Amino acid sequence: MSRRGNCYDNAPMESFWGSLTNELVHHHSYGSRFEAEVSIREYINIFYNRQRSHTRLGNLSPAAFA
> pLDDT tens digit string along 11-64?
878 888 888 899 888 888 999 999 999 999 998 888 777 778 878 888 888 888
Integer-rounded Cα radius of gyration of the chain: 14
Residue 44: inside a domain: yes
Q: Judge whether 38 lies within some domain.
A: yes
Q: Which domain holds residue 19?
A: 7-65
Q: How far is 18 from 6, CA to CA, in rounded Å?
A: 19
Residue 38, pLDDT score: 95
Q: How many domains does the chain have?
A: 1
Q: Is residue 46 part of a domain?
A: yes
Residue 2: inside a domain: no
pTM of the model: 0.62
Is residue 39 in a domain? yes
